[in-house]
Amino acid sequence: MISERMTQAINEQIKNELESYYLYLSMAAYFHSANLDGMGRWMRIQAHEEMVHAMKLLDHLLDRGGKVQLPDLKQHKTEWESPLEAWQDAYKHEQFITSKINDLMDLAREEKDYQAQPLLTWFIEEQIEEEATSGKVAEEMAMVSDTKQGLFFMDRELGQRAFPANSPLDPAAYAAT
Ligand code: FEO
């Protein structure tokens, strides 16, 4: 059985992951509307990953008899001054998520919750990748995005990211339905 404090903290983290999903979906829409479809695609895939993160936590709670009580989602930004600003926000957001995962691990240790720790270790490792990826794009965008050619190149590059199989966020998955 999972403790009340851990249950509450994991519910809070499910919310954080769903807010990440929502934020990246907004960024995807922002990029698509600016004809940056490669970046839009990249962000849809990122949103897919965030939904998976939320579901991993939700299943962990269910498996351990914790009550799932999802808090309201916070309204995030839906407009950005520039593509560069959106990428910088994505990087900042991942740093925020890392701090939340670290807090959760602190709590799991304090509560001697050994069952939660392997899952949280997975999230800690995932956050290394999440920060590295968004941070790298933000830096590259800062180098090149002041020219139309630079933006075009980045859009092409980021559009190479592949959707996981059967993602409901992949336009190809629902085009035929
Ligand atoms: Fe679920 Fe991008 O962290």
Indicate which atom in ligand 1 lies nearest the CA of residue 50: 1
Instruction: Please give all residues whose beta carbon lies within 6 A of any atom in ligand 1, as ranges.
Output: 17, 20, 50, 53, 94, 97, 130
CATH number for the domain whose boundaries are 4-159: 1.20.1260.10
Q: C-alpha distances in angstroms, 136 versus 53, 140, 149? A: 21, 6, 19
Could you tell me the distance, in angstroms and rounded to a whole number, from the CA of residue 66 to the centre of ligand 1?
22
> Do the beta carbons of residue 111 and residue 6 sit within 8 Å?
yes
pLDDT > 70: percent of the chain: 99
At 136 the pLDDT is: 98
Position in ligand 1 atom list of the atom nearest CA 53: 1
Q: Round to whole Å and give the CA distance between 141 and 152.
A: 11
Tell me: pLDDT of 177 over 80. no
CA of 33 to the centre of ligand 1 (A): 24
Residue 175: pLDDT band (50, 70, 90) is confident
- Nearest residue (CA) to ligand 1, atom 1: 50
Q: Round to whole Å and give the CA distance between 147 and 37.
A: 17
pLDDT tens digit sequence for 127-138: 999 999 999 999
Using the predicted structure, report yes or no on whether residue 76 has a pLDDT greater than 90: no
CA–centroid distance, 95 to ligand 1, in Å, is 9
Model pLDDT, residue 166: 84
Residue-range domain boundaries for the chain: 4-159
pLDDT at 173: 83
For 6-39, give the secondary structure using H, E and C: HHHHHHHHHHHHHHHHHHHHHHHHHHHHCCCHHH
166 in Cβ contact with 173 (< 8 Å): yes
Tell me the pLDDT of the chain averaged across its residues. 96
Q: What is the mean pLDDT of residues 16-44?
A: 97
Report pLDDT digits (tens) over 96-136: 999 999 999 999 999 999 999 999 999 999 999 999 999 99
